[in-house]
Structure 1
Amino acid sequence: MTTETRSLPAVAPGAWETPFVIMGYDEVVTHDTVWDEHSHPFHERLRNERGTSSAVVGSRVWTITPALGLWMPAGTLHSGSAVAGTWFRASFFGFRTTSSISDAPVAVEITPLLRLLLDRLSDPELSAGSRAAIEVLVLDVLAPSPRELLVQVPTSALLRPIAEAVRKDPGDPRSLTDWASALGVSPRTITRAFTTETGTSFARWVAAVRSQHAVALLTRGWDVEAVAEQIGYRSASAFGAAFRRTTGLTPGTFRAR
């Protein structure tokens, strides 16, 4: 399948005049699409109505779904990608008219109320007074989520072989003990390294990689059982429970969207 690459400029916060408070943009990408590294003069809130996309800042990779969006502060250098068929919806927040909910990229829960308010702002016949009132409500309910589909990719010489193998094949069955034996170190050494570099354990890091991969496969139309087998779960029910913990949706519900 053809991949489309898009280039955008790197712009400092507030460098361009942004007279809006909140402005929306949406698009259905017809090809797998990659955005080169860039930054915006305004804050950005990303979400998908359908499908999956990702945003990369340094060694951190977020997956964006219909239930989990992402807040990208103005001036943050990031790249991104989206699977063909993804319907993404961005909201731009004026740098001088709104404050950032976070100084760093952070996941945002797409609640039914937030979805309703943002959809209402897309009405071209909305009066100025109604728009101002809804924008206040959006800024009031917009908040970081306690959940996020984030993978911090380790880059040390010790963990790089593990990261490359698991990201290439999330179904890789090797355990912490297996990797320790292969690399000639103790399991405790790998455990400490994962905690230091990623802030999480080896097992949770693998689960996050698997969830990100599952989102992409479900978007491409794979059935739940095939995805579970592909990414290393022994049963569809075990995969479903893990997927719901990280995304807020069952695999079936996500696939339907």
Structure 2
Amino acid sequence: MTRETRVLPVVAAGAVETPFAIQGYDEVITRDTVWGEHSHPFHELLWNERGASTAVVGARVWTITPALGMWMPAGTLHSGSAVAGTWFRASFFGFHATPSISDTPVAVEITPLLRLLLERLGDQRLSAASRSTTEAMVLDALEPSPRELLVHAPTSALLRPIAEAFHENPGDQRTLADWAAVLGVSTRTITRAFHAETGTSFARWVASLRAQHAVALLTRGWEVEAVAEEVGYRSASAFGAAFRRTTGLTPGTFRAP
């Protein structure tokens, strides 16, 4: 199956007048798909009905799922990807009609209430008054979440081999000392580089990367035990504890039915 690449324009915030306050969109992806870097004149709430996808802003990579969505402020340059079978959803918020919940991209928990309200806006039979009331309720229910599946991608020549190795195999067991020996530098040099480029430690970066990979597998229906082994944990309980420390959520939150 060939990969599809979609090219979208770069549009400044509010540069195009939108005739809506909140408008929904959804699509089932039939081929692995990549969206090139682009921006919208409106704010965007991204979430999935099924599967996991990614959104990239600069060196930051978010995982989007049915449980955790993402708020993309108008005018933000971003790219993304989704594998075949993903059912993604988006809600567009008029730049002049609705306020942004954040000036920067943030995670949003897709609560049952928020989901119901967004689905209600898809009902074409809604009266103007009911639509206005529902839109106000959506805006009231929307808020940034401290829980997010976010990884900062290191890009320096020093850290690139580490990033590539863990993206290829999130279960890689090499430690900080192992990588220092491979790269011919001190552990302190790698530690400083990770903090400078990602804002976190090597261990926390690895845990976040493993959590992202785990979510992608869980949303495809993998058993927790199999996911734990795939991402480098010796048991499901060890994986569960690390996952909760990293995301604040349990693996079961993302398990496909």
TM-score for both structures, normalised by structure 2: 0.93
**2:210–2:231 Cα contact (<8 Å) kept:** yes
1:249 positional shift: 5.2
Query: How far apart, in 2, do the equivalents of 1:140 and 1:219 lie?
Result: 28
Q: Spell out, residue by residue over 1:209-252, the C-alpha distance to the aligned partner (whole angstroms, 9 max, x if none).
A: 11111222233443322221111111122223333454565434
Query: How far apart, in 1, do the equivalents of 2:83 and 2:250 lie?
Result: 20
1:24 positional shift: 0.5
Determine the structure 1 residue equivalent to 2:179: 179
Query: How far apart, in 1, do the equivalents of 2:44 and 2:207 lie?
Result: 28
User: Percent identity of the aligned residues?
Assistant: 79
Determine the structure 2 residue equivalent to 1:164: 164
Gaps of 5+ in 2: none
**2:72–2:105 Cα contact (<8 Å) kept:** yes
- Stretch of structure 1 that moved more, 221-230 or 106-115: 221-230
Cα distance 1:83–1:91, how it changes in 2: closer, same or farther (>3 A)? same
Determine the structure 2 residue equivalent to 1:256: 256
Determine the structure 2 residue equivalent to 1:223: 223
Query: How far apart, in 2, do the equivalents of 1:137 and 1:195 lie?
Result: 40
SS of equivalent to 1:34: strand
Q: What does 1:181-196 align with in structure 2 at a 5 Å threshold?
A: 181-196=181-196
Q: CA RMSD in A?
A: 1.7
Question: Aligned partner of 1:27: which letter?
Answer: E
Query: How far apart, in 2, do the equivalents of 1:180 and 1:155 lie?
Result: 17
What count of residue pairs does the alignment treat as equivalent? 257
Indicate yes or no: 2:108 matched with 1:108: yes
- Stretch of structure 1 that moved more, 91-100 or 184-193: 184-193
Q: Spell out, residue by residue over 1:98-151, the C-alpha distance to the aligned partner (whole angstroms, 9 max, x if none).
A: 121111111111122211211221111111111111111211221111011111
Q: What does 1:68-147 align with in structure 2 at a 5 Å threshold?
A: 68-147=68-147
Query: How far apart, in 2, do the equivalents of 1:108 and 1:246 lie?
Result: 16
Determine the structure 2 residue equivalent to 1:26: 26
Question: Aligned partner of 2:201: which letter?
Answer: S
Determine the structure 1 residue equivalent to 2:203: 203
Q: Spell out, residue by residue over 1:5-61, the C-alpha distance to the aligned partner (whole angstroms, 9 max, x if none).
A: 222111111121102111001111122211111111100000111110100111111
Determine the structure 1 residue equivalent to 2:151: 151
SS of equivalent to 2:46: strand
Query: How far apart, in 1, do the equivalents of 2:4 and 2:248 lie?
Result: 30
SS of equivalent to 2:13: coil
Q: Spell out, residue by residue over 1:168-218, the C-alpha distance to the aligned partner (whole angstroms, 9 max, x if none).
A: 111110011111222222222222221121111111110111111122223
SS of equivalent to 1:256: coil
Determine the structure 1 residue equivalent to 2:43: 43
- Stretch of structure 1 that moved more, 247-256 or 25-34: 247-256
Gaps of 5+ in 1: none
1:253 positional shift: 4.9
